[in-house]
Chains A and B, each alone.
Chain A
């Protein structure tokens, strides 16, 4: 827990612009059509101020600017991460990927690879960055194999922090990781120790969305049990995964129903596919088995559609908001806290009692302080010691040289010690 900061700031539950610009443009059209008829126009002019078009303006500006989104995928190798990314965004980011052979894997460490692609749909531009983590969980000894990943996330936060505190803030590149899809193996009986370790290391830094990978090897009853099991273990270990925001009470029933279904299906059991197969006379994205065809976009087969809707169509903006408002703010506060405490520790004896970090005073101030010290010492020292010795000490010629322990300095030291004790706690 970040010391001295109190509870995590609660997220401002601002109602997101519905629907977000990345999807349909129905809202815009709705507003546009309202202003269409001339009879209405007069009424509108009389009764309304006219800021109902604000969402439309925001919409247009955002579309011009374009969006960016950074998605991290993590999990053991062979769980279908690259296939899923391909299915989600319908782009092949891994064309030139070379799978490592067994010998190369033995000496491999966890790497961070970034692939960026620009996608455009109906005039809306999205700059998508996928952060891949090959080598995670593959070695025989996987102790702290998530460290390179946490370091990367922290690095991006630090970069943003620096940019934000800098002079030119016009074009800040936002490379912070907005969402991390964590792939859980469907073959286990729940979360593995590596899964727990990874999620606990990253749940305060990134929005984690756990997924059950390769769900086509499980029958429906097994999927249900596994989901329950994973939910229990997430609670048990105190892992904070990304929570879908509560929908407002004035939303329509459909939306509420969708939201409910979404929450109940977490963690999503997904299947990915790079190939298109023929099923029931239609060409669908799926996997062809001797016993049947698994359709990726069939809700009865897997939760891929739910994941895609959640990630892209409904919650992309919320993910970015949570990253900015919660994770990044936590990081920033922690960073500043550390900086302050570091400065107080490093500060020299001569400087006055630091409540805020102040630079070490120059010679002039030093002289003034010393003079003040002596005055105080003279007055207090006599009263304290009450004896001839003290008076003598103060009035002796040795007084010209800096007195051994001025009162002010003593108080300073005491404060330093108290601060140190507080830090150690």
Chain B
């Protein structure tokens, strides 16, 4: 939007000056900023879509976290009633939330059974399959001759990965999963159930995880290569320093100092979920909803989806082999150490033809 703001001075050149109006007066700005309002109105009419996936072993508080984030109490309350299934399953639940006139169609995909078996080899395959399936659906819609005005977007915009709070380092299962998924989707790792770690233990654990991520070349969101400008970089660096966030989820309210807060009540104190001194849930909430929601969608659309598209079209030879054609062999699961070549840089075409 910056180019629009480049000329703050009354632009005499853009409008033919009528002889009756004196120059440098009453001409005012062009009114291009009204475009923002128009976009806003349009977006509010259409509503937003956001698809989030939560992955982690059973009992790490995934459903509670979703409830706490989006305050959707309608989804089945997590409890000890449901035993983890024998194989990995994927459940998608859609909610429509409205706040101050803004509608959000939120789809949460849960993955019960992940990492719960004795033998967890390839337990990430169904998840990768699901993500690619969504990309495929979108691709098919896009390739149609008569396309819909608004292609329904079921692509997973963000995958929140719950790391159990062992306090040591990432487990082999975590590393295997993260390596594979960071190439296909935006992954935000969090330290789940962080109320079992003291502040020092949390910091040490976080540093170790960050080191593990660096060693294994796991690129989690926000990815450094997609920082647009210096402001972004500063903001995202602060976030990157705190990732993975140590979060605690709660869906019950308690009275603390006269205030009603979401928290967990134990015999030695009440853990307030929205208190930054207790846990980093507010950071996660801000990242996912208040500041980076659109960014997540953009990267999914411009990078991950494009990568998928190029590979698929390459495979099916639908792309014309012009001068810029590059032979991209389909990435096999074995290629874990080097990330796939990101052919498209984000921000090159912010085509918001389907959604804002």
Q: B237 — which chain A residues lie within 8 A by C-beta?
A: none
B277 interfacial contact with A, CB 8 Å: yes
Contact A187 B265 (CB under 8 A): no
Stretch at the interface among B22-30, B52-60, B317-325: B52-60
Interface string of A82-124 (1 = CB under 8 A from B): 0000000000000000011111011000000000000000000
Q: Which of A102, A287, A292 contacts B172 (CB 8 A)?
A: A102
Q: B173 — which chain A residues lie within 8 A by C-beta?
A: 140
Q: Is the interface of A mostly helix, strand, loop or mixed?
A: loop
A194 interfacial contact with B, CB 8 Å: yes
B119 interfacial contact with A, CB 8 Å: yes
Q: Which residue of A lies closest to B78 (CB)?
A: A189
Contact B169 A105 (CB under 8 A): yes
Q: B119 — which chain A residues lie within 8 A by C-beta?
A: 141-143
* Complexed CA–CA distance, A161 and B218 (Å): 52
Contact A138 B198 (CB under 8 A): no
Contact B278 A291 (CB under 8 A): yes
> What is the number of residues of chain B that contact chain A, defined by CB distance less than 8 Å?
48
Question: Among the interface residues B168, B170, B277, which one has the most CB atoms of the partner chain A within 10 A?
Answer: B168
B292 interfacial contact with A, CB 8 Å: no
Q: Which of A101, A143, A192, A219 contacts B264 (CB 8 A)?
A: A219
Q: Which residue of B lies closest to A229 (CB)?
A: B80
Q: Is the interface of B mostly helix, strand, loop or mixed?
A: loop
Q: Which of B166-203 contact A (CB under 8 A)?
A: 166-173, 175-176, 192-193, 195-196, 198-199
Q: Which residue of A lies closest to B271 (CB)?
A: A291
Cβ of A320 to closest chain B Cβ, rounded Å: 32
Contact A287 B59 (CB under 8 A): no
Contact B196 A217 (CB under 8 A): yes
Interface string of B265-295 (1 = CB under 8 A from A): 1111111100001100000000000000000
Instruction: Tell whether A292 pairs with B268 under 8 Å between CB atoms, given A78-B164, A105-B171, A141-B120.
Output: yes
A48 interfacial contact with B, CB 8 Å: no
B17 interfacial contact with A, CB 8 Å: no
Contact B266 A189 (CB under 8 A): no
A214 interfacial contact with B, CB 8 Å: yes
Contact B121 A140 (CB under 8 A): yes
Q: Which residue of A lies closest to B169 (CB)?
A: A102
Q: Which residue of B lies closest to A215 (CB)?
A: B196
A21 interfacial contact with B, CB 8 Å: no
* Complexed CA–CA distance, A43 and B59 (Å): 68
A300 interfacial contact with B, CB 8 Å: yes
Q: B265 — which chain A residues lie within 8 A by C-beta?
A: 219
Contact B269 A289 (CB under 8 A): yes
* Complexed CA–CA distance, A188 and B84 (Å): 9
Q: Which of B66-113 contact A (CB under 8 A)?
A: 79-80, 82-84
Instruction: Tell whether A77 pairs with B166 under 8 Å between CB atoms, given A185-B59, A187-B60, A289-B195.
Output: yes
* Complexed CA–CA distance, A234 and B168 (Å): 29
Q: B314 — which chain A residues lie within 8 A by C-beta?
A: none
Residues in chain B within 8 A of chain A (CB atoms): 57-61, 79-80, 82-84, 116-121, 164-173, 175-176, 192-193, 195-196, 198-199, 212, 215-216, 264-272, 277-278
**Can you list 25 A-B contacts (CB < 8 A)?**
A78-B165, A101-B212, A102-B171, A102-B215, A105-B169, A139-B172, A141-B120, A143-B118, A145-B118, A186-B196, A187-B57, A188-B57, A189-B58, A189-B59, A189-B82, A193-B117, A216-B195, A217-B165, A220-B267, A222-B80, A225-B79, A225-B80, A289-B195, A289-B198, A289-B271
Residues in chain A within 8 A of chain B (CB atoms): 76-79, 99-103, 105-106, 138-143, 145, 185-190, 192-194, 197, 214, 216-217, 219-220, 222, 225-226, 229, 287-295, 300-301
Closest 6 CB pairs of A and B: A78-B166, A292-B269, A217-B196, A292-B268, A291-B269, A187-B59
